[in-house]
């Protein structure tokens, strides 16, 4: 078997680029087709056992139980927002509500502080759009520090009023 060895200085290996580019384009198209942009989803936890929740005795609670009620117009948009007889109006009542809660509850939380024991009960009209309920829960649950982007919790115990019998 004669093995011919071409020794002519430099052995140049010629690569066929065309098939490689084809496969690379196939891969690229696959990845582009399977790419989906989703926004991150987060949860607001509410614990609602079937049994009627027993409120902590008034001496232990630094803060009276808060009751929030939202009414809706016929489109489902927010028409009024009331917290324990105080109503919040304006273009963006949720920001006012958030500021009020920050003032009353404060941001420090040790055991027994207002932040730990405060509870809020949220009620609303049947046809109120769900985004407003999430907005209310957001407004009472916490606030974000502008500099560090850290979430500072406010009221952690949120529950809904039992639905009224129609």
Give contact residues for another protein (rule: CB under 8 A): 17, 20-21, 24-25, 27-28, 31-32, 34-36, 38-50, 76, 92, 94-95, 98-99, 102, 107-108, 124-139, 141-148, 150-152, 160, 163
Nearer Cβ to another protein (85/108): 108
Task: Walk across the sheet containing 78-83 and list its strands.
Answer: 86-88, 78-83, 66-72, 119-124, 157-160
Count other C-beta atoms under 10 Å from residue 48's C-beta: 10
Q: Are 112 and 164 in contact (CB under 8 A)?
A: no
Q: How far is the CB of 92 from another protein (least distance, A)?
A: 7
For another protein, the closer of residues 3 and 40 by Cβ is: 40
Residue 156 CB, shortest distance to another protein, in Å, is: 12
| In the complex, minimum distance from the CB of residue 6 to another protein, in angstroms, rounded to a whole number | 27
Instruction: Determine phi and psi for 24, rounding to 5 degrees.
Output: -60, -40
């Amino acid at each position: 078997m004669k093995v011919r060895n071409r020794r002519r200085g430099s052995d140049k290996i010629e690569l066929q680029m065309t098939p490689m580019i084809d496969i690379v384009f196939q891969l690229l198209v696959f990845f582009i087709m399977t790419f989906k942009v989703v926004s991150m989803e987060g949860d607001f936890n509410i614990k609602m056992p079937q049994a009627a929740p027993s409120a902590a005795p008034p001496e232990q609670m630094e803060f009276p139980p808060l009751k929030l009620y939202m009414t809706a117009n016929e489109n489902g948009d927010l028409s009024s927002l009331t917290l324990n007889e105080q109503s919040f109006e304006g273009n963006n009542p949720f920001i006012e509500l958030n500021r009020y809660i920050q003032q009353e509850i404060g941001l420090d939380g040790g055991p027994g502080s207002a932040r730990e024991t405060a509870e809020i009960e949220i009620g609303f009209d049947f046809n109120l759009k769900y985004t407003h309920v999430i907005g209310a829960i957001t407004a009472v649950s916490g606030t974000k520090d502008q500099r560090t982007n850290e979430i500072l919790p406010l009221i952690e115990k949120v529950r809904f009023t039992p639905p009224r019998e129609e």
